[in-house]
Amino acid sequence: MKNVAIIGTQGVPAKYGGFETLVENIIGDNCSDDIRYTVFCSSKDLPDGPKEYKGARLKYVPMRANGAQSIPYDIISMMRCMRRYDAVLVLGVSGCIFLPVFKLFCRKKLIVNIDGLEYRRAKWKNWVRKYLKMSEKLAVRFADIVITDNKGIQDYARKEYNVETTLIAYGGNHALVDISREKEKNILEQYGLTEHGFSMSVCRIEPENNCHMTLEAFAKNGEKLVFIGNWNRNGYSLKLKEEYKDKYDNILLLNSIYDLEILYTLRKNAKYYIHGHCAGGTNPSLVEAMFFGRPILSFDVVYNRETTFDKAYYYNNADELMELMKRDDLDGALMSELAQEHYTWNRIAKEYEALY
């Protein structure tokens, strides 16, 4: 039996982002019988959480897992897992400034997923970017194994640090659920939508996801858009909400949705899926969208091209996005085939387990 500690997420059940979804899906049914996970969780973000979930032990740290508190949150989690575990999996680099100390006292296998160049995100102030860059540097130096989720990030690590990383992407087949066609129709009616009569996008409302570009394109061309995200999160999201909500009949801004049946229905019945991310590596929302076989219109950066194997449709600005939507030859069937071949959770879970 291998005992593995997971550090760096809000915790499970997953209610936040990509790393939480990763943990949600490598535990449970996709987990081998000889692996026992312990997941460190935030009691602030997940109050009254269970002590066990999908066969994994849950241990709580009384701090928030995101923002400035993510640094001490990760460090405290590391301090609590120096013993008892055969391997420690750290997701993200927020607390990796502590790794030189951690490695002095813990000789267990240390695996770090460095995520998607967090220090380059536009939302961070300059001093935060410098801190995250230093933390990333220490993660690469002290980890026994470094995981990157995208070939673009793998190439960056090789060039920046002269280190070879293990490439493991995300799964996305959890987005496929079994619901009746009647229920699909009811959900579409609930939002005033028709089959293939709208496009959709799902993301955190942040500048590097080019939400403003997506909204600009649909405000100009009048096509129906369903845009799901955390619209009340920050100055950027609130400004866009003020500018576009209730002012354009064709634009529907919805707060974050975690109901898989609703997300399944919207993704399956969308005309196009719009993916504006320009930072990070393999974005989980893009992988999930690929399973539905709808045409994907993606911002043109190396990470998105690598994820979609250069087989989606790409744009660099609002005008190019509008031009893509004028075409009548866009097809997404190949996206589904690629997703089934490369992005199933059973495959991803086994790739992680091979490292322990």
pLDDT for the residue numbered 128: 76
Same domain for 122 and 258, yes or no, is: no
Same domain for 161 and 255, yes or no, is: no
Same domain for 123 and 233, yes or no, is: no
Query: What interhelical angle do 151-161 and 126-142 show, nearest 10?
Result: 80
Mean pLDDT rounded to a whole number for the chain: 94
Same domain for 302 and 160, yes or no, is: no
Q: How far apart are CA 96 and CA 74, in angstroms?
A: 8
Out of 150, 168, 186, a domain closes at 168
- Does 46 fall in a domain? yes
How many CB atoms neighbour CB 91 within 10 A?
21
Same domain for 137 and 182, yes or no, is: no
How many CB atoms neighbour CB 82 within 10 A?
16
Same domain for 191 and 162, yes or no, is: no
Domain at 101, CATH number: 3.40.50.2000
Same domain for 150 and 197, yes or no, is: no
Do 93 and 87 meet the contact criterion of CB atoms below 8 Å apart?
no
* Radius of gyration of the chain measured on its C-alpha atoms: 20
- Does 238 fall in a domain? yes
Q: How far apart are CA 156 and CA 188, in angstroms?
A: 42
- Does 78 fall in a domain? yes
- Does 244 fall in a domain? yes
- Does 285 fall in a domain? yes
Residues in the chain predicted with pLDDT less than 50, given as ranges, are: none
pLDDT for the residue numbered 18: 86
pLDDT for the residue numbered 121: 64
- Does 356 fall in a domain? no
Same domain for 185 and 154, yes or no, is: no
Same domain for 108 and 155, yes or no, is: yes
Distances in whole angstroms, Cα of residue 117 to Cα of each of 134, 156, 356: 12, 9, 24
- What pLDDT digit, counting tens, does each position of 304-343 carry? 999 999 999 999 999 999 999 999 999 999 999 999 999 9
Out of 119, 149, 168, a domain closes at 168
Tokens of 272: 């196009």
pLDDT for the residue numbered 16: 77
pLDDT for the residue numbered 355: 97
Domain that holds residue 51: 2-168
Same domain for 46 and 182, yes or no, is: no
Q: How far apart are CA 334 and CA 118, in angstroms?
A: 30
Number of domains observed in the structure of the chain: 2
Q: How far apart are CA 102 and CA 82, in angstroms?
A: 7
- Does 355 fall in a domain? no
Same domain for 292 and 208, yes or no, is: yes
Same domain for 291 and 251, yes or no, is: yes
- Does 353 fall in a domain? no
Out of 100, 134, 168, a domain closes at 168
